[in-house]
């Protein structure tokens, strides 16, 4: 081959690289900014205890019962992985549903394990199933004709849900019960700011021991605390000041679908509850955070649900180069987190969560 | 003779790829514009890019059909495919959750698959160019 084509090829390569490089340089890389609030860090709040490579990144924490951790799998809804809390003994289980051949399990089916039952909830089918831990055969056990996109078993035969209302086509919180009228939607809990469903997106949690449901908004500094009759206790505020969702929405006409434009401002990435405490994985930097903190740690802010106040924060470092994808806290003692294909357990110093005491950093 | 056939196949593959991708995008330009608006690299130029990319793809496909422009078309294919490849690498610096908007079945590929698919086509264009030159040499060396 002559020299000329090599020169042309190289020039072409340099041209295309330069073009993308210019685009990259001009793009807004959303360098995180420090905000005006200050976090009250408790450095020895968490200690890593164990780690397990579960082989796939599609596992999620479904429950902890009697020192066994149960992992569901988002890609294989009827597969379950059990491990003891030392993470030394694992067991794969195939879940069964009675009359499975007549059921169309969808990819949104989710698993929750809570003594003495395990629950399978599918909001697209829709279907709600329950079975005994150890027996691993589930069956329909209550009214389940309502569609939903988030769900949590509450008590004996109810499910708290987030659903797209047929009335206004927006997300609402509700409850499925086993007696008439079966489905109750509470229209005043989620407060819309922009048309569509994105601005009220968030995560629904239930604290069994505190007997309260908590919905934490993803794009604004608020969480909603309400009881199992769907009556509002209060709206709590996270420590930042982003009270209005900062998102741009565009519509695809042919699909009549609404889409988020690039990188919406996430405030509360994830949340979970344990007892009277709300744990929020925040996506914001505080005044006393290092500028690269979000690249190295997950920052968890802890709120006291009983007194509606901020308590403390702690950092959990990224593991094996991966960011945290999901976490759950059990009995204020064990933090179980998924990092890509690793399950990592941390011990929580629950004495910091004692009450009453002087709140050092109340907002 | 075999080489000539290989060149024809390479050009046909590119024509198929570009024509398909361009038509899928142009069939629903509004959707493509919204999808491009999600890209942190392209959000400011979504309207321009949404028309420019399929147009360029169609022009290159056209160039590969006619013998006269074929070499230029192969170089252009190489440039465009390497640009897409570098773009993927750049976009992955932001997040893996950014959706692909290549159109049609090409959207179903994951980022890694897409990267290999693109690199494959980049290499294919180089092979095409090498064959093109060797064929040309043969033609000029052949006795009149």
What is the pLDDT at residue A362? 44
Taking residues B111-127, what's their average pLDDT?
Answer: 90
Question: What values do phi and psi take at A201, rounded to 5?
Answer: -60, 150
Contacts of B3 in chain A (CB under 8 A): none
The closest CB to that of B43, out of A21, A24, A261, belongs to A261
Confidence at residue B99, expressed as pLDDT on a 0 to 100 scale: 61
- Contact status, residue A254 vs residue A281, Cβ threshold 8 Å: no
**Domain that includes residue B129, residue range:** 2-138
B144 in a domain, yes or no?
no
Closest CA to A303 of A236, A348, A354: A236
B123 domain residue, yes or no: yes
pLDDT at B67: 79
Q: Is there a domain that residue B83 lies in?
A: yes
CB A332 within 8 A of CB A272: no
What domain count does chain B have?
A: 1
Task: Classify residue B143: in a domain, yes or no.
Answer: no
Longest pairwise C-alpha distance within chain A: 83
Which strand ranges, in their side-by-side order, compose the sheet holding A232-237? A202-207, A212-217, A222-226, A232-237
Query: What is the DSSP code string of A166-217?
Result: TTTSSEEEEEEESSTT-EEEETTSS--SSSSSGGG-EEEEEETTTTEEEEEE
Residue in chain A nearest B72 by alpha carbon? A8
pLDDT at residue A85 in the model: 92
Interface confidence (ipTM) of the complex = 0.86
What whole-number distance in Å separates Cα of residue A9 and Cα of residue A29? Answer: 31
- Predicted confidence (pLDDT) per residue in A37-81, tens digit: 999 999 999 999 999 999 999 999 999 999 999 999 999 999 999
Q: What is the pLDDT of residues B3-23, one digit of tens each?
A: 889 999 999 999 999 999 999
**Which of B28, B42, B82 to substitute to test the interface with A, most A CBs within 10 Å?**
B82
Of B115, B56, B38, B1, whose CA–CA distance to A247 is shortest?
A: B38
pLDDT at residue number B144: 47
Mean pLDDT of A236-245: 90
Give which of A27, A11, A263, A21 is closest to B87, Cα–Cα.
A21
CA angle A75, A273, A160 (to 5 degrees): 65
The highest-confidence range among A31-40, A354-363, B105-114, by mean pLDDT, is A31-40
Which whole number is the average pLDDT over A162-184? Answer: 90
B90 with A2: Cβ contact below 8 A:
no
Query: In this complex, do B130 and A2 lie within 8 Å of one another by their Cβ atoms?
Result: no
Cα(B41)–Cα(A27) distance, rounded to whole angstroms?
A: 5
Q: What's the confidence (pLDDT) of residue A90?
A: 93
Query: By the CB < 8 Å criterion, does A255 face chain B?
Result: yes
Q: How is residue A234 written in tokens? A: 């209060």
Q: How far apart are CA B14 and CA B29, in angstroms?
A: 22
Write out chain A residues lying below 8 Å of B83, CB-based.
Answer: 16, 19-20
CB contact under 8 A, A1 and B80: no
Tokens read off for B130: 């090498």
Fill in the DSSP letter of residue A134: T
pLDDT in tens, B42-93: 888 888 999 999 999 999 999 999 778 999 999 999 999 999 999 988 887 7
Cβ atoms A302, A278 nearer than 8 A? yes
B59 occurs within a structural domain = yes
Which of chain B's residues have a Cβ under 8 Å away from the Cβ of A2?
133
pLDDT-based confidence at A30, cuts 50/70/90?
Answer: low
Which residues make Cβ contacts (< 8 Å) with residue B104, sequence separation at least 6? B20, B21, B24
């Amino acid at each position: 081959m002559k020299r000329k084509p090599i020169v042309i090829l190289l020039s072409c390569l340099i041209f295309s690289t330069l073009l993308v490089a210019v685009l990259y340089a001009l793009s807004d890389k959303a360098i995180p900014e420090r905000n005006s609030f200050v976090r009250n860090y408790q450095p020895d709040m968490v200690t890593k205890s164990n780690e397990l490579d579960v082989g796939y990144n599609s596992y999620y924490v479904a429950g902890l019962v009697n020192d066994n951790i149960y992992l569901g799998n988002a890609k294989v809804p009827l597969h379950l992985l059990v491990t003891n809390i030392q993470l030394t003994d694992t067991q794969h289980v195939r879940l069964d549903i009675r009359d499975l051949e007549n059921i169309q399990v969808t990819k949104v089916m989710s698993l929750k394990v809570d003594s003495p039952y395990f629950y399978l909830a599918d909001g697209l089918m829709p279907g709600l199933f329950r079975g005994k831990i150890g027996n691993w055969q589930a069956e329909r056990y209550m009214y389940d004709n309502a569609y939903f996109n988030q769900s949590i078993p509450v008590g004996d035969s109810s499910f708290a849900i987030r659903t797209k209302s047929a009335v206004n086509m927006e997300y609402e919180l509700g409850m499925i019960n086993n007696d008439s009228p079966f489905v109750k939607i509470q229209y005043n809990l989620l407060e819309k700011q922009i048309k569509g469903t994105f601005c009220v997106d968030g995560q629904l949690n239930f604290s069994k021991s505190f007997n309260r449901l908590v919905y934490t908004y993803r794009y604004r500094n608020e969480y909603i605390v309400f009881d199992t009759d769907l009556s509002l206790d209060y709206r709590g505020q996270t420590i930042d000041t982003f009270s209005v969702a900062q998102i741009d929405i565009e519509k695809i006409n042919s699909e009549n679908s609404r889409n988020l434009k690039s990188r919406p401002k996430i405030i509360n990435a994830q949340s979970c509850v344990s007892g009277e405490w709300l744990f929020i994985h925040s996506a914001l930097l505080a005044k006393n955070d290092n500028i690269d903190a979000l690249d190295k740690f997950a920052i968890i802010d802890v709120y006291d649900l009983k007194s509606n106040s901020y308590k403390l924060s702690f950092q959990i470092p990224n593991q094996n180069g991966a960011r945290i994808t999901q976490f759950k806290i059990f009995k204020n003692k064990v933090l179980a987190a998924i990092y890509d294909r690793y399950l990592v357990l941390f011990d929580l110093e629950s004495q910091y969560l004692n009450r009453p005491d002087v709140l050092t950093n109340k907002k | 003779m075999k080489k000539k056939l290989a060149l024809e196949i390479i050009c046909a593959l590119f024509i198929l790829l570009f024509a398909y991708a361009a038509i899928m995008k142009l069939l629903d330009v509004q959707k493509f514009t919204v999808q491009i608006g999600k890209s942190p690299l392209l959000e400011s130029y979504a309207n321009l890019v949404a028309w420019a990319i399929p147009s360029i793809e169609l022009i290159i496909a056209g160039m590969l059909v006619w013998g006269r422009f074929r070499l230029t078309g192969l170089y252009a294919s190489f440039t465009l495919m390497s640009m897409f490849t570098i773009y993927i690498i750049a976009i992955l610096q932001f997040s893996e959750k950014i959706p692909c908007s290549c159109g049609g079945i090409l959207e179903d590929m994951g980022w890694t698959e897409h990267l290999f698919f693109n690199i494959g086509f980049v290499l294919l264009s180089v092979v095409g160019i090498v064959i093109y030159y060797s064929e040309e040499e043969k033609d000029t060396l052949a006795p009149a």
